[in-house]
Chain A
Amino acid sequence: QKEVEQNSGPLSVPEGAIASLNCTYSDRGSQSFFWYRQYSGKSPELIMSIYSNGDKEDGRFTAQLNKASQYVSLLIRDSQPSDSATYLCAVTVSGAGSYQLTFGKGTKLSVIP
């Protein structure tokens, strides 16, 4: 069973702080890693993708990947109340055309004004 694990939270951070979201995965063959943001009652929205070890920055978001440790994280700098949402980590399934995704259960982030 290929699994993606996330701390369900809720994770509460004050406005302006750094929010750190973590994800581990079991499939060593996974090649692509994604973070989706899902507001309550809405569909998932892609915010970051990462494919190689190291950091990838996009605005206030930084994704970090460590394939040896099977670990991917998302940092949100200068957190805003509008960042309050559930963040889903998703990982491609190896041996399935690299297109299928396995999702974690999500971490609920609450940014306190």
Chain B
Amino acid sequence: SAVISQKPSRDICQRGTSLTIQCQVDSQVTMMFWYRQQPGQSLTLIATANQGSEATYESGFVIDKFPISRPNLTFSTLTVSNMSPEDSSIYLCSALAGARETQYFGPGTRLLVL
């Protein structure tokens, strides 16, 4: 398995501002992912963070709104840009780890946009 940490664990932000969420894995991993989980809903994949290249975004998510960095095999950041109240959600980082490359999740970042 993998131990994944995220910072910050929660934040309250004003609309129009940006927040960068950090994700750190305790070992080198091939793939990292960013998800959003809105209240009472399941997980929606935002993008796959690729090391050394641009992230791969899912339908409905764009780089200008959710820029992602992956500078090495243990770290990634997700920025939520020009925030609006609709961006209030839990943002989760995950990584593939283990012999069968299973996804493990970080503790999440709870974001509230006022």
Contact = CB atoms under 8 A, between A and B. Distances in A.
B43 A99 contact: no
B48 A106 contact: no
B100 A104 contact: no
Interface residues of A, number: 19
Interface residues of B, number: 20
From DSSP, what is the main secondary structure of chain B's interface residues?
A: strand
Given A46-B102, A51-B100, A99-B101, A104 B42 contact: yes
B6 to A, nearest CB: 9
Which of B1, B41, B103 has most A Cβ within 10 Å? Answer: B103
Interface string A75-113: 000000000000010100000000111011110000000
A45 B105 contact: yes
A89 B16 CA distance: 35
Nearest to A88: B42
Interface string B24-35: 000000010100
10 contacts: A34-B103, A43-B92, A43-B107, A51-B100, A88-B42, A99-B48, A99-B103, A100-B45, A100-B48, A101-B43
